[in-house]
Amino acid sequence: MLPEVFRQEIVSACGEVFDFKSMANGWPEEPMEHGYAVAGMDGLKEYIGDPDEVCEFIGDAEILVNHLAPLSASMFERLPLLKMVAVSRGGPVNIDMQAARKHDVLVVNTPGRNASAVAEFTIGAILAETRRIRVGHESLRNREWRGDLYRADLTGRELHEMTVGVVGYGQVGTRLVKMLRAFGTKILVNDPYVQLDPEDIAAGVRQVSFEEVLRDSDVLTLQARVTDETKHMINADSLAAMRKDAVLINTARGPLVDYPALIHALKTGAIAAAMLETFDIEPVPHDSELLSLPNVTLTPHIAGASVYTVTKAARMAANEVCRYLNQQPPLNPC
């Protein structure tokens, strides 16, 4: 999310009515901080930027359009003129929302900004594992021609003959289900807080319990948010309940998975393979066993990264700024 993209979209939506100043940080080349690990930042999940530098930059601004810069409780105390924050993320995880309410600061976000990108990426992740794309690639990189991958006991399976379980039926999950339907896949959905779209029901998509989706899925893909309820939902017990030939896909959030338990399951054959896009620790430590396991495909948390994601998020944030300027209610208040 480049500051200039925000500026372009705000000018396009609202006109030249603002004095702008911009600040960039080192993400994504530099890793994010986690609020639980830094004194005074415990109301935040992840962010990047020095609090003093961010406060100095914001100064007497009334509106902040922001992607990853932190706003902690102590920072709000230092920013009495700040009245509106637009966060270009699906959730305001870099903002202390309790402090924002206390200081009467409106916070809006951009839900679904990268939902299509993540859903598309998840299709690619499933195919990379189930059709042995990653295995074939790695063998050729090692100058090895894996003709044995034609064998019926080693080759991949097609999506139309498999059952895919989708955990989480939100912005990403609903898009993913519609994409999977095009493959003729049997689809199971686990999400206790929503009802299935009638179109999905008519197409044969079933809503099932967590126990059923673990038991019956050839591929299990995680699209849930991290809450106290969902943290480590994939653990030793849930992995033991899955099929031994099952594939786990995590393109959602690292804390959904107990990674030591997953590593054990992959090493012992409790499940067949995994495709992991998010991790419990990011960047992944150099000594992590995940980096050497033969039955894992890994990517560095890039599922939501696309040109469309950037422009859509900036456009959504700009629209919220214009609504604030015109004293209209926000579309996506946090």
State the catalytic residues: 253, 282, 301
How many other C-beta atoms are found inside a 10 Å radius of the C-beta of residue 156? 16
Beta strand 163-167 with 63-66: parallel, antiparallel or unpaired?
A: unpaired
Strands 186-190 and 247-250: unpaired
**What distances in angstroms separate CA 140 from CA 124, 136, 150, 293, 294, one per listed residue?**
20, 6, 15, 17, 14
Virtual torsion, Cα 38, 40, 46, 47, nearest 10 deg? -100
Angle at 328 between CA 324 and CA 331, to 5 degrees: 85
The radius of gyration computed from the CA coordinates of the chain, to the nearest angstrom, equals 22
Q: Which two tokens stand for residue 88?
A: 């270009």
Note if the bond before 255 is cis, omega within 30 degrees: no
